[in-house]
């Protein structure tokens, strides 16, 4: 028998399988052809379109929407994929409310942008579902490029390099490709194993060898790669997790949110995943929201996000905040963890109220306690495992506009590199642009 | 609420909205439902001669073009006149007219171009008690190949001749329905008048191919792998119909000829526009075929609402009011100067006006780095294109440059005198103004 919301402690099977399936269904379900036609008709085909400027990969949005309007979504897909080879995933995970759709003139006009993300999904699904790969490789250049990290940045770079005729080997410490697409993105954004399907589709270009279980700093070294390859692209993301530095951090039930999400994304049976009755997530970004929402969807009774600054400072967009609220997650602002209490396992969290003065967070001395048998830490990821030789900037690998690091013939992009927001789409753009620069430099 | 009662050729109907001769008026069942919904009158689906009726195709007979959200904008059909027997139609007409004495019932007729054929059918139609007849000189397909419909409507002499026969063998009003598939609609209109016709109605459908099936490589609707041109109607044809109505209404020879306007009437406003251009009432087909008979309710409420707002108490108050303002291009005032003006409050920075003016008009709109769009008065020729492409209604307006001010484009002072092409110095055949 399924245990209910109220069962105390950390339990599996809080909800019936059917409820779990419902809860984790597609956040933005696919359009059917008529919905897509109606949505596409709303686009004004703007001149020098602001939505396009707002897209980190600069997809020609009016053009692809026009192709949907005119009834050839596969050309629309091509328009998208030309700029963004992971256009399918980006259609699902991009915070469009802060990117293209925020810039859409219909957002200004009536608060209802053209639903660019869903239209992008409609177009890319057509190509993915037919399982055709619309690109082919240029004649071989005889050049070899190593890509370290098979997340969006690495995959994007690899595809572009392979297409231009280079031979690419992609190394990853894990046993699967996709990076956070596979292990991090919320389950209701990437349903039906989309991340893996997309990787398989992308690899159809040919010329890309995947080499798993190879970790930079262990099995691989930058020197070794440089000796063997004409160029190296680093796209190792942010594999470290920031510590809480609060008393009781080592109690049972206190975990990194990204580990919980990784378990969830890899689980065959979500009902078998244990979740607490009272869950508190510390943090204010997308990871915090995803951990909180998915705990709720697994059947936790009370889920609270505790963030140390005000709502406006939150990394998660207003849309994400509202999504959390709509699922019954409570958002607490201006509180920071002081201690986690419990005998062996967490049972309560003590939060201190804060005030923010001149950008700095200060405790006010006033505290409050919440029941908490699970505490998820989502206070940011950090760079680990980068080669010593590369210079850092603000805790990330320092790169110039085209992704060159301080070391010759070594490029970097995605979350591990300086500049740009930590988003899937930004990683794709940086991977692509670095690939173009690698190509120019190898062929120059 | 304004009284919509309209008298057309002495035939009274509670409102000016009649159903045109077409499938909505094909039989008693439909017409009764139409009257219950509130239609002021019907023109019965065209009757043919006694004997075996025509047959229609058994495949698709309609095609369409669509706007956003599959809104039907234009309909095309390859249907013929009624495919039911004359006797049954006449019986039904008699019953319906008896039950609805306050509604207009007009009988549309198309028989061969021989006097005998008309002489035979007209007394039978007269006996139904219907209020008048409409001569179908318009049907562009099928019937024309048999020497009827548009084949007659395209030859003014035939129109006059048949109209004369009808006036001879029928005592009530005769309306001549015109085909738009001609070059100058005033010729058939004059012929109808010369033949003694009491009114004209227009337009019938326009020859058209609405779409091509690119797999079958055949026009649609496709019947057994082939298609044929059909008749086009619906919102898309309204501008063409309005021009034809206006041409007849302002022609000195036909300006007094009553007009029943047809073509794309979908809302009250379409009707008001036709009537302002001189139509005594309107007929509707496609709107009813698209949305059902209840569309007339909006036409009724909309027209009376507008009449109340304007203080019109009868449709007679505004019929033809726009006719004096329809003129030839050569009489338009060339001293009237305007400039486009973009209201920055309403502008959503889509840039469509810029693309349109920059690429296809007069390079008169400036775009700043932060997407502010402004009109350059020294380049703007007031063509109105930007107004038409702007997605925000009322965002761009045309502002008249008052007399006495400088037109920045020409550097000349705007004159308050009327001056047209006929006297313009660039006109080689200009007649010097007195
Ligand atoms: C929980 C969560 C939710 C998110 N939700 C969204 C969202 O909804 N929308 C959005 O746009 N972005 C979201 N993001 C951010 C987004 O996932 C990242 O910005 C993006 O994945 C970065 O891509 P990347 O290729 O740089 O790194 P990653 O995706 O992190 O990939 C890095 C790869 O490198 C491998 N690797 C790491 N270290 C080594 C090493 N030393 N040697 C070899 N391989 C190594 C990893 O195994 C991984 O495969 C989310 C992030 C998280 C954590
Ligand atoms: C399917 C169909 C059949 C028609 N049949 C006739 C007809 O038998 N006689 C006739 O005079 N007009 C016929 N018409 C023309 C209509 O009466 C009308 O003139 C035309 O459709 C334009 O009006 P609308 O735009 O409101 O449809 C037909 C139109 C359609 C769509
Ligand atoms: S801004 Fe909006 S309306 Fe304009 S092109 Fe982009 S999606 Fe279309
Ligand atoms: S009215 Fe014509 S010329 Fe003037 S700004 Fe608009 S599009 Fe350009
Ligand atoms: S078309 Fe209209 S809304 Fe768009 S930029 Fe021009 S004035 Fe502004």
The answer to whether B69 contacts A48, with C-beta atoms less than 8 Å apart, is no
Tell me if B350 CB under 6 Å of ligand 3: yes
**Where a domain ends, among B270, B305, B325?**
B325
CB within 6 Å of ligand 5 — which residues? Answer: B 342, 347-353, 373, 390, 392, 395-396
- Written as tens digits, the pLDDT of chain A (444 aa) is 445 678 888 989 899 999 999 999 999 899 999 999 999 999 999 999 999 999 999 999 999 999 999 999 999 999 999 999 999 999 999 999 999 999 999 999 999 999 999 999 999 999 999 989 999 999 999 999 999 999 999 999 999 999 999 999 999 999 999 999 999 999 999 999 999 999 999 999 999 999 999 999 999 999 999 999 999 999 999 999 998 889 999 999 999 999 999 999 999 999 999 999 999 999 999 999 999 999 999 999 999 999 999 999 999 999 999 999 999 999 999 999 999 999 999 999 999 999 999 989 999 999 999 999 999 999 999 999 999 999 999 999 999 999 999 999 999 999 999 999 999 999 999 999 999 999 999 998
Check whether residue B138 and residue B243 sit in a common domain.
Answer: yes
The domain that holds B265 is classified in CATH as 3.20.20.70
**Residue A128: how many other CB atoms lie within 10 Å:** 19
Residues B358 and B275 in one domain: no
Residues B234 and B365 in one domain: no
> Long-range contacts of range A351-359, CB-CB < 8 Å, 24 or more positions apart?
A351/A306, A354/A308, A354/A309, A356/A309, A356/A310, A356/A313
DSSP-based three-state secondary structure for A240: strand
What's residue A1's pLDDT?
42
Contacts of B349 in chain A (CB under 8 A): 50, 105, 108
Angle of the A318-326 helix axis to the A286-298 helix axis, nearest 10: 20
**Which helix (H) or strand (E) segment is A260 a member of?**
helix A257-266
Atom 5 of ligand 1 has which residue's CA nearest to it?
A: A185
* Residues B379 and B314 occupy one common structural domain: no
Q: Known catalytic residues of B? A: 139
| ipTM summary value | 0.83
Residues B294 and B362 in one domain: no
Q: Are B398 and B340 in contact (CB under 8 A)?
A: yes
One domain for residues B93 and B232:
yes
Residue B144 lies in a domain: yes
From the list B404, B261, B387, the residue with the least C-alpha distance to B337 is B404
- d(C-alpha A23, C-alpha A19), whole Å: 6
Q: Which of A34, A109, A112 to mutate to test the interface with B (most CBs of B within 10 A)?
A: A109
User: What would the 3-class secondary structure string for chain B be?
Assistant: CCCCCEEECCEEECCCEEECCCHHHCCHHHHHHHHHHCCCEEEEEEECCCCCCCCCCCCCCEEEEECHHHCEEEEEECCCCCCCCHHHHHHHHHHHHHHCCCCEEEEEECCCCCHHHHHHHHHHHHCCCCCEEEEECCCCCCCHHHCCCHHHHCCHHHHHHHHHHHHHHCCCCEEEECCCCCCCCHHHHHHHHHCCCCEEEECCCEEECCEEECCCCEEECCECCECCCEEEECHHHHHHHHHHHHHHHHCCCCCCCCEEEECCCCCHHHHHHHHHCCCCEEEECHHHHHHCCCHHHHHHHHHHHHHHHHCCCCHHHCCCCCHHHCCCHHHCCCCCCEEEEECCCCCCCCCHHHHHHHHHCCCCEEECCCCCEEECCCCCCCCCHHHHHCCCCCCEEEEECCCCCEECCCCEECCCCCCCHHHCCCCCCCCCCC
Same domain, B234 and B345: no
pLDDT of residue A3: 56
User: Does residue B335 share a domain with residue B273?
Assistant: no
Q: Which of B69, B70, B355 sits opposite A47 (nearest CB)?
A: B355
CATH superfamily, region A144-239+383-443: FAD/NAD(P)-binding domain (3.50.50.60)
- Residue limits of CATH 1.10.1060.10 in chain A: 33-129
Cα angle value A111/A117/A123 (rounded, 5°): 135
CA B271 to chain centre: 9
Strands B211-213 and B218-220: antiparallel
Nearest ligand, measured from the Cα of A171: 1
Residue with tokens 């439909």: B30
pLDDT at B434: 47
Question: Given this model, what pLDDT does residue A13 score?
Answer: 87
A108 contacts B348? CB cut-off 8 A: yes
Distance CA B334, CA B52 (A): 61
Q: Which residues of B touch A48 (CB under 8 A)?
A: 351, 367, 371
- Of B276, B304, B325, the one marking the end of a domain is B325
Residue B375 lies in a domain: yes
The C-alpha atoms of residue A418 and residue A209 are separated, in whole angstroms, by: 27
Range of the domain at B350: 329-423
pTM: 0.90
Which residues lie below 8 Å from residue B381, measured CB to CB, with a gap of 6+?
B361, B362, B364, B409
Contact between chains at B351 and A106 (C-beta distance less than 8 A): no
Integer angstrom CA distances of residue B276 from A6, A437, B322: 73, 67, 5
Bridge partners (DSSP) of residue A306 are: A282, A332
- CA–CA separation, A254 and A281 (whole Å): 10
CA distance A189 to A93: 6
- How are the residues of chain A apportioned to helix, strand and coil, as percentages rounded to the nearest 5? 40, 20, 40
Q: A348-357 and A335-341 as β-strands: parallel, antiparallel, unpaired? A: antiparallel
Of B350, B354, B367, the CB nearest to A44: B350
CATH 3.50.50.60, chain A: domain bounds = 3-25+243-377, 144-239+383-443
Residues in contact with ligand 2 by the CB-under-6-Å rule are B 20-23, 45-46, 75, 77, 79, 81, 108, 136, 138-139, 177, 204-205, 231, 233-234, 237, 262-265, 284-287
Do both B260 and B369 map to the same domain? no
Residue range A33-129 forms a domain whose CATH class is: mainly alpha
The Cα–Cα gap between B281 and B261 comes to 6
Final residue of a structural domain among B306, B325, B344: B325
pLDDT at B139: 64
Q: Helix A61-69 crosses helix A73-83 at what angle (to 10 degrees)?
A: 170
CA distance B79 to chain A (A): 29
* B353: CATH: 3.30.70.20
Domain count for chain B: 2
* Centroid of ligand 4 to alpha carbon of B399 (angstroms): 12
Q: Are A335 and A353 in contact (CB under 8 A)?
A: yes
A105 to B350: CB separation less than 8 angstroms, yes or no: yes
Q: For residue A263, which of A209, A145, A191, A184 has the smallest C-alpha distance?
A: A184
**Which residue in A has a C-alpha nearest to residue B369's C-alpha?**
A48
A31/chain B closest Cα distance in angstroms? 14
What pLDDT was estimated at residue B150?
A: 73
Class of domain A3-25+243-377: alpha beta
Which residues does chain B have with pLDDT short of 70? 139-140, 142-143, 431-434
B22 & B40 share domain:
yes
- Around Cβ B62, how many Cβ atoms within 10 Å? 16
**How many angstroms separate the CA atoms of A33 and A126, rounded?**
11
- Domain check: are B301 and B336 in the same one? no
Residue A417: per-residue pLDDT = 98
Looking at the fold, whether B299 and B367 belong to one and the same domain comes out as: no
- Does residue B1 form part of some domain? no
């Amino acid at each position: 028998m399924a245990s209910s919301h109220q069962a105390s402690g950390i339990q599996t099977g809080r909800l019936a399988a059917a409820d779990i399936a419902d809860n984790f269904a597609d956040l933005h379900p696919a359009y059917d052809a008529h919905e897509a036609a109606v949505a596409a008709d709303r686009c004004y085909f703007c001149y020098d379109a602001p939505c396009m400027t707002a897209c980190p990969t600069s997809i020609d949005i009016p053009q692809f929407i026009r192709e949907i309007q005119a009834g050839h979504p596969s050309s629309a897909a091509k328009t998208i994929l030309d700029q963004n080879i992971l256009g399918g995933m980006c259609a699902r995970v991009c915070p469009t409310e802060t990117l293209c759709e925020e810039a859409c003139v219909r957002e200004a006009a009536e608060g209802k942008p053209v639903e660019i993300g869903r239209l992008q999904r409609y177009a890319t699904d057509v190509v993915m579902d037919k399982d055709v790969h619309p690109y082919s490789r240029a004649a071989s250049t005889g050049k070899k490029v190593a890509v370290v990290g098979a997340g969006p940045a690495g995959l994007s770079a690899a595809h572009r390099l392979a297409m231009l005729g280079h031979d690419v080997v992609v190394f990853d410490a894990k046993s699967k490709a996709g990076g956070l697409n596979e292990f991090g993105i919320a389950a209701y954004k990437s349903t039906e194993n989309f991340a893996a399907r997309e990787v398989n589709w992308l690899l159809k270009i040919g010329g890309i060898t995947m080499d798993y279980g190879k970790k930079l700093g262990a099995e691989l070294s930058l020197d070794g790669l440089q000796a063997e390859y004409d160029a190296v692209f680093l796209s190792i993301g942010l594999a470290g997790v920031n510590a809480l530095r609060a008393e009781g951090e080592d109690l049972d039930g206190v975990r990194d949110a990204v580990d919980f999400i990784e378990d969830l994304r890899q689980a065959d049976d979500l009902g078998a995943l244990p979740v607490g009755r009272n869950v508190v997530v510390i943090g204010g970004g997308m990871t915090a929201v995803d951990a909180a929402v998915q705990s709720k969807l697994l059947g936790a009774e009370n889920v609270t996000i505790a963030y140390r600054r005000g709502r406006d400072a939150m990394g998660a967009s207003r849309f994400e905040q509202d999504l959390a609220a709509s699922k019954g997650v409570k958002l607490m602002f201006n509180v920071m963890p002081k201690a986690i209490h419990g005998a062996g396992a967490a049972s309560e969290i003590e939060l201190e109220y804060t005030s923010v003065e001149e950008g700095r967070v200060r405790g006010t001395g006033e505290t409050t306690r919440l029941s908490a048998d699970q505490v998820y830490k989502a206070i940011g990821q950090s760079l680990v495992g980068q080669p010593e030789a590369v210079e850092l900037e603000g805790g990330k690998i320092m790169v110039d506009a085209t992704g060159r690091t301080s070391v010759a013939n070594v490029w970097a992009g995605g979350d591990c590199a300086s500049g740009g927001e930590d988003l899937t789409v930004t990683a794709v753009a940086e991977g692509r642009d670095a690939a173009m620069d690698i190509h120019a430099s190898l062929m120059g | 609420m304004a009284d919509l009662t309209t008298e057309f050729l002495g035939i009274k109907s509670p409102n000016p909205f009649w159903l045109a001769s077409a499938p909505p008026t094909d039989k008693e069942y439909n017409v009764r439902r139409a009257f219950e919904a509130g239609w002021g009158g019907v023109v019965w689906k065209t009757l043919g001669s006694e004997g075996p009726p025509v047959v229609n195709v058994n495949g698709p007979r309609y095609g369409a073009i669509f706007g956003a959200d599959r809104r039907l904008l234009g309909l095309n059909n390859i249907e013929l006149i009624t495919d039911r027997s004359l006797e049954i139609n006449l019986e039904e007409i008699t019953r319906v007219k008896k039950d609805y004495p306050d509604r207009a019932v007009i009988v549309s007729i198309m028989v061969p171009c021989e006097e005998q054929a008309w002489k035979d059918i007209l007394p039978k139609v007269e006996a139904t008690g219907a209020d008048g007849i409409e001569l179908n000189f318009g049907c562009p397909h099928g019937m024309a190949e048999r020497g009827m419909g548009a084949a007659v409507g395209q030859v003014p002499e035939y129109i006059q001749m048949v109209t004369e026969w009808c006036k001879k063998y029928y005592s009530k009003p005769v309306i001549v329905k015109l085909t738009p598939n001609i070059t100058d609609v005033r010729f058939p209109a004059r012929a109808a008048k010369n033949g003694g016709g009491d009114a004209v109605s227009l337009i019938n459908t326009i020859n058209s191919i609405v779409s091509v099936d690119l797999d079958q490589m055949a026009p649609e609707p496709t019947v057994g792998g082939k298609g044929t041109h059909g008749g086009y109607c619906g919102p898309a044809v309204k501008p063409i119909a309005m021009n034809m109505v206006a041409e007849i209404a302002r022609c000195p020879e036909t300006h007094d000829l009553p007009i029943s306007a047809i073509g794309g009437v979908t809302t009250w406003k379409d009707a008001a526009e036709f009537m302002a251009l001189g139509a005594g009432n309107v007929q509707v087909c496609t709107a009813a075929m698209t949305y059902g008979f209840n569309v007339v309710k909006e036409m009724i409420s909309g027209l009376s609402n507008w009449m109340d707002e304007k203080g019109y108490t009868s449709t007679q108050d505004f019929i033809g009011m726009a006719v004096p303002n329809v003129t030839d291009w050569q009489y338009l005032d060339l001293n009237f100067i305007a400039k486009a003006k973009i209201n920055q409050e309403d502008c959503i920075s889509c840039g469509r006006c810029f693309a349109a003016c920059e690429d296809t008009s007069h390079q008169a709109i400036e775009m700043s780095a932060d997407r502010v769009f402004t009109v350059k008065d020294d380049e703007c020729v007031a063509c109105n294109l930007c107004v038409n492409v702007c997605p925000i209604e009322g965002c761009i307006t045309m502002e008249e440059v008052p007399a006495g001010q400088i037109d920045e484009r020409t550097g000349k002072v705007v004159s308050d005198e009327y001056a047209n092409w006929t006297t313009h110095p660039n006109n080689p055949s200009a007649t010097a103004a007195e």
